[in-house]
A and B are shown apart, each in its own frame.
Chain A
Amino acid sequence: MIASVFKVATRVRRSVAATAVAAALLGGCAVNDTGASEVWDPIETPNRFIFAINRTVDVMAIRPLAVTYRDWVPEKAQKSVRNLLDNLGEPVTAINEVFQGDPSRAGTTMARFLVNSTLGLAGLFDVAAMFGMERTKTDAGQTIGIWAGKGVEPENGGFYLVLPLAGPSNARDATGLMIDYAIDPFQILPIAFNWDWWYYSLPRAGLNAIDYRSRTMFALDDIEKNSVDYYAALRSAYTQNRAELIRAKRDKTDTKGELGRRDNLALVR
């Protein structure tokens, strides 16, 4: 037991160190950021290499599995799997919502978690939504983006990074991913209580991957088919989508930031 507490502590410490490094990198690229320029990608060559490997794994294994899952598993079962996975993610969302300065929303998320974990049979059914508590989803990457300050455009997430298996990311979001992993009770519990990896962590990760891949099928196929450089198109789409999520939270009413960015685009035309 003590050993496992140490394990968790070490993991948290490592994440904190990584955060500090990432924060320094983020700070370093905030100069002259118009938001209209290309995504900052200083390690494009290794990124493209990982991207190529990811694509191979995807074509050979993940995509076929996801297609089978999408077309052969009953829609209701798919919905329940998604609910279950989403429910496991609620505590992380709630913690992030607190740090994003929205404790009341965090309260709703926790209420959702409690209702769905009990009445919703361990999260298989989204009962809370029927009670009018809609699901929200956020992560530590967005929390960092919100706290980065007005000077940093949300398009600027530090250097672009392609993660093995997980795909498009950047310094900000990869750091967020580590933080989320470290604060997730459903990642800490298995370590603390030595849950069998085969029966918990692996199925969760596997289902997550298949579920996620099946939902992004249409979008990714579309980008791939309609681009001359899939890597670059996806890099741009990912960055814009993340920025949109952060911007929506950062200035709920103020559209000035977006305005300025689009006007800058006209300048470089």
Chain B
Amino acid sequence: MPLLACRRLAFRLAVGAAVAFAAAPALANDPAAELVSTTAAQAIDIIKTTTGAQRQAAIQQVLQTKFDLPYMAQTALGTHWAKATPEQQARFVKATETAEAKAYSERFGQYSGQTLAIGKTTSRPNGVFIVDSRLNQTNGQPIKLEWEVRQVPAGLRITDVKIEGVSMVITRRSDFNSYIQQNGGKVQPLIDELESRAAR
């Protein structure tokens, strides 16, 4: 089954999205790469010192300060964002934030000493930095991770993580879009679903 081998690592250890060690040298004068490496270091620290609800809260705090969550949520909602009321938008951002924090703290349960080697940073004309990195595992092939970093008024923020070419935001976008289509093109059922999952 050669075809099957292709998505073999997609999403595997999304742990890698944040679980990481930083290759500290060669990062000077590269704020985007520095952001990625400090985020990774913070995540590792959280895994080592916390568990359960405390971990989830700590992760959520990292997400809030290092990631541009409202922007990611807006991208994930796509064309439906404009159709939503401000109140719906706020609730949606809140719900996705909790969902992310929960997902990450669960993934980190599987942490087993992976290290993150940060590669080159590509600057693109639309003001986005792409930071290449490689998550080395104790056994098996390294996983390719790309971080999308963007300048916002408050500073640099991570806006997307691509694992073996699979973008978290684009995957969410397809996922949400399909759910909305199946529920009469309305955003509310999606928000309700996300909120009920967050409460679980």
**Contacts from A to B (Cβ < 8 Å):** 38-39, 75, 89, 92, 137, 139, 141, 166-169, 173-174, 176-177, 180, 205, 208-209, 212, 215-216, 218-220, 222-223, 225-229, 231-233, 235-238, 240-245, 247, 255, 259, 262-263, 265-266, 268-269
Contact call A232/B7, Cβ cutoff below 8 A: no
A139 and chain B: residue at smallest CB distance: B2
Complex contact B174–A219 (CB within 8 A): no
Interface 9-mer from B31-39, B51-59, B83-91, B163-171: B163-171
User: In the assembly, what is the distance between CA of A136 and CA of B9, in Å?
Assistant: 14
Contact B79 A268 (CB under 8 A): yes
Q: Which of B20-28, B42-50, B121-129 contacts A (4 or more CB under 8 A)?
A: B121-129
Is B3's beta carbon under 8 Å from chain A? yes
Asked if A167 meets B103 with Cβ closer than 8 Å, knowing A236-B171, A244-B164, the reply is no
- Find the residue from B1, B107, B139, B177 having the highest chain A CB count within 10 A: B1
B5 A212 Cβ-Cβ under 8 A: yes
A-B contact count (CB 8 A): 144
In the bound complex, do residue B7 and residue A238 qualify as a contact, i.e. CB atoms below 8 Å apart? yes
A129 to B62, CA, bound (A): 40
Question: Helix, strand, loop or mixed for chain B's interface?
Answer: helix
B75-A265 in contact (CB<8A) = yes
Q: Considering the complex, give the chain A residue whose CB is closest to the CB of B1.
A: A208
Cβ of B135 < 8 Å from any Cβ of A? no
- B10 contacts across to A, CB distance below 8 A: 219, 237-238, 240-241
In the complex formed, the residue of A with least CB distance to B74 is: A269
Complex contact B3–A141 (CB within 8 A): yes
- List B contacts of A269 (CB < 8 A): 74-75, 78-79, 81
Which B residues, 131 to 176, have Cβ-Cβ distances below 8 Å to chain A? 139, 148, 162, 164-167, 170-176
The interface residues of chain A lying within 8 Å CB-to-CB of B81 are 269
23 contacts between A and B (CB under 8 A): A38-B177, A92-B2, A141-B6, A167-B4, A180-B2, A212-B4, A219-B7, A219-B11, A222-B14, A226-B103, A227-B171, A227-B175, A233-B172, A233-B174, A236-B166, A236-B170, A240-B165, A242-B7, A244-B162, A245-B6, A262-B128, A265-B170, A269-B75
Task: Knowing A240-B165, A266-B126 are in contact, say whether A232-B177 is a contact too (CB < 8 A).
Answer: yes
Residues A232 and B178 in contact in the complex (CB < 8 Å), given A166-B4, A176-B3, A243-B165: yes
Q: Contact between A229 and B6 (Cβ–Cβ < 8 Å)?
A: no
Q: Is the CB of A240 within 8 A of B171?
A: yes
Assembled-state Cα–Cα distance A209/B8 (Å): 12
Best-buried of B164, B165, B179 by chain A (most CB within 10 Å): B165
Among residues of B, the one whose C-beta sits closest to the C-beta of A205 is B1
Verify B11–A223 contact, CB threshold 8 A: yes
* Nearest A-chain residue to B167, judged by Cβ: A240
Is there an interface contact between B11 and A244, defined as CB atoms closer than 8 Å?
Answer: no
The answer to whether A229 touches B126 (Cβ under 8 A) is no
Top 7 closest A-B pairs, CB basis? A244-B165, A232-B178, A236-B174, A219-B11, A219-B12, A233-B175, A241-B10
A residues in contact with B7, CB < 8 Å: 168, 216, 219, 237-238, 241-242
19 new A-B contacts at CB < 8 Å, known A168-B7, A218-B13, A237-B171: A139-B3, A139-B5, A177-B2, A180-B2, A216-B8, A219-B11, A222-B11, A222-B14, A228-B190, A232-B174, A236-B174, A240-B165, A240-B170, A242-B6, A243-B165, A244-B164, A244-B166, A262-B148, A268-B79
Point out the residue from A212, A220, A237 that lies within 8 Å of B1, measured CB to CB. Answer: A212
Q: How near does chain A come to B185, taking the closest CB pair, in angstroms?
A: 14
User: Is residue B193 contacting chain A, with contact meaning CB distance below 8 A?
Assistant: yes
Cβ of A198 to closest chain B Cβ, rounded Å:
19
Closest residue of A by beta carbon distance from B122: A255
A215 touches B3 (CB 8 A): no
Q: How far is the CA of A232 from the CA of B176 in the complex (A)?
A: 8
B4, B8, B79 pick with most chain A CB within 10 angstroms:
B4
CA distance A38 to B179 in the complex (A): 13
B14 proximity list for chain A (CB < 8 A)? 219, 222
Closest Cβ of chain A: how far from B11's Cβ, in Å? 4
